[in-house]
């Protein structure tokens, strides 16, 4: 497909989503110190999904799902809900830096999904994935001299690898669903479905000590940001990107999440950017460029 390698609106949507994804790390951390992660996840996605559906309803949209779309919508909702359930279970079991590296395997899973569909990436795309992954490790490790990343437990590592697979599957469903239904209805439906899947976990594991009553004004604002921007606008932008870029080229931008988080932490929290992190960021950018140039165009 000629010209598919040039930048387009999908790249803009992907960058918006990645910046928001990166911002959720510093924004959500203080909230999660107070609120149970399952209650936090289910409630903010419920608010986001219902809010988007209300917006669509006011604009005259009415659900008109085709029967053949329902299995894919259900599967995407299950992947989305499972992703956040595993996130809630895995968060206490493994250091955040190690979890971020394991999540950086999601583009590899996405490329394998695309390959199974017949959209085989070129060899240089796989090289780009290796370079970008090495860059992510360098950004998080923050040192050329020795390994700073603490070792995690086997169970936690397995959960985060499963998480990366769930995100790749969710993203893999995103491209065709956005094309068939539109990005906004697809996000609203899968977000709400995932929230309903998380709700029983919140009731069983987290409601007794939910912590919502301990939120002050500042934490409420952060919670609102995570519900409206972190769970709503980010997924709308993400599905808009997947619709235009396809799974492999779109999910490659996930490598940029640690880069965005590092830059935002430097800008707003005063965290230092070391030569190791600068080198890692350069490697990530090179890897994403290689994937963007050599992955198959969406069909």
> How many structural domains are present in the chain?
1
> Does residue 299 belong to any structural domain of this protein?
no
Give residue-wise pLDDT tens across range 254-289. 888 888 888 887 887 777 778 888 898 899 999 998
Mean pLDDT of the chain: 84
Give residue-wise pLDDT tens across range 48-96. 999 999 988 988 888 788 888 899 999 999 999 998 888 777 766 766 6
Choose between 269 and 8: higher pLDDT: 8
Asked if 225 and 25 count as a contact pair (C-beta separation under 8 A), the reply is no
Containing 23, the helix (H) or strand (E) segment is helix 9-32
Return d(Cα 235, Cα 211) in angstroms, integer. 26
Give residue-wise pLDDT tens across range 194-220. 999 888 888 887 667 778 888 999 999
DSSP 30-55: HHHTTS-HHHHHHHHHHHHHHHHHHH
- Residue 12, both tokens: 């803009």
Rounded to whole angstroms, what are the CA distances from 196 to 102, 117, 155? 26, 29, 26
Choose between 26 and 227: higher pLDDT: 227
For residue 225, what are the domain limits?
9-294
Residue 194 region by backbone torsions, left for phi larger than 0, else alpha for psi between -120 and 50, else beta: alpha
Return d(Cα 234, Cα 142) in angstroms, integer. 27
Rounded to two decimals, what is the model's pTM? 0.80
Check whether 15 has a pLDDT greater than 90: yes
> Does residue 3 belong to any structural domain of this protein?
no
> Does residue 223 belong to any structural domain of this protein?
yes
> Does residue 70 belong to any structural domain of this protein?
yes
């Amino acid at each position: 497909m000629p010209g598919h390698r040039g930048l387009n609106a999908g790249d803009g949507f992907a960058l918006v989503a990645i910046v928001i994804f990166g911002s959720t790390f510093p924004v959500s951390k203080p909230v999660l110190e107070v609120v149970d992660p399952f209650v936090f996840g289910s409630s903010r996605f419920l608010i986001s999904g219902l809010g988007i559906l209300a917006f669509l309803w006011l604009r005259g949209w009415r659900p008109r799902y085709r029967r053949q779309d329902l299995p894919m919508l259900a599967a995407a909702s299950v992947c989305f809900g499972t992703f956040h359930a595993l996130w809630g279970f895995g968060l206490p079991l493994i250091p955040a830096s190690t979890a971020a590296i394991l999540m950086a395997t999601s583009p590899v899973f996405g490329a394998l999904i695309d390959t199974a569909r017949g959209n085989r990436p070129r060899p240089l795309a796989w090289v780009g994935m290796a370079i970008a992954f090495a860059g992510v490790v360098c950004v998080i490790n923050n040192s050329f001299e020795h390994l700073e990343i603490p070792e995690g437990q086997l169970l936690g590592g397995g959960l985060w690898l499963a998480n990366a697979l769930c995100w790749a599957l969710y993203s893999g469903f995103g491209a065709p669903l956005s094309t068939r239904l539109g990005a906004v209805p697809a996000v609203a439906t899968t977000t709400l479905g995932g929230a309903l899947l998380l709700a029983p976990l919140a009731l069983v594991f987290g409601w007794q000590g939910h912590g919502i009553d301990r939120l002050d004004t500042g934490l409420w604002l952060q919670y609102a940001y995570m519900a409206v921007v972190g769970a709503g606008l980010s997924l709308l932008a993400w599905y808009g990107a997947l619709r235009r870029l396809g799974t492999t080229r779109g999910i490659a931008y996930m490598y940029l999440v640690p880069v965005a988080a590092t830059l935002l932490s430097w800008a707003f929290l005063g965290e230092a950017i070391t030569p190791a992190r600068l080198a890692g960021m350069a490697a990530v950018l090179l890897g994403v460029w290689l994937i963007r140039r050599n992955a198959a165009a969406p069909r």
